[in-house]
Structure 1
Amino acid sequence: MKFKILVLFISVFTLSTSISLAQEKSNFTTKLENRITNSVEIGIDGMACQEGCADKIASNLKERDGVISADISFDNKNGLIVFDPTLISIEEVKTIITGTKVKDYKYTINSITTQDN
């Protein structure tokens, strides 16, 4: 009898936890879907390679709250950055790019093009 009660308790606990987590995930997804974002293509000079320069710039951008994605290409000498303008400004994005330190390389921005979302 005690075993049946224990199994029933574990089942109810597991079910209620699953429902609670599913509701939290649903709310989180909704918040992301309603987020206002800006997309910009930024021309970047001074990169020497993908693995060091471009990937480090992308990593630094992604660490910042408000940056949704940062795809930096050494081959194309640019980056496509998607960000939430309520959390980070384009000026801050530019500062992160030009402030990235890899060896003695200096990165400069040669163009900024706004992309349609």
Structure 2
Amino acid sequence: VGQTRVRLPRQVGRVHLSQSGQYVILQTDFGLQLQYDGNHFVKITVPGNYQQQMCGFCGDFNGDSVDDYRMPDGSLAVNDIIFGESWKTKDDEDVRCKTIVPSPCEKEILDKVISDDQCGLIIDATGPFR
């Protein structure tokens, strides 16, 4: 908390911090929950009453995961690396973070690979492998 290590669980104002297995859990009194593995995985959930009211890095919560990779300029990213890089802030860069070079695949090749008749079925959030 504030660059200081603290023991969990911990209540800080309207925010509750705890640990579950490898995850640190941040939960607010209005229902937002953030899970972080301390490395690279973050999962954010919000209550259903926020549906159709979200935007930004976490998607728009409209039930259509296809448009969740919307970048700040309004366009859709072709992959998760470009999406993540588009939301990176300039004033808060950590020298330990390295820029990931996007795949050299051309958009046409990437579109074919992630189509339903190839790998798209596996990565489809609403598909049989979810």
TM-score range, shorter chain: under 0.3
Structure with greater proportional strand content = 1
More helix by share: 1
User: Highest CA radius of gyration, 1 or 2?
Assistant: 1
Higher relative contact order (CA 8 A, sep 6+): 1
**Normalized against structure 1, the TM-score is what?**
0.23
Under a length normalisation based on structure 2, what TM-score does the superposition of the two structures give? 0.22
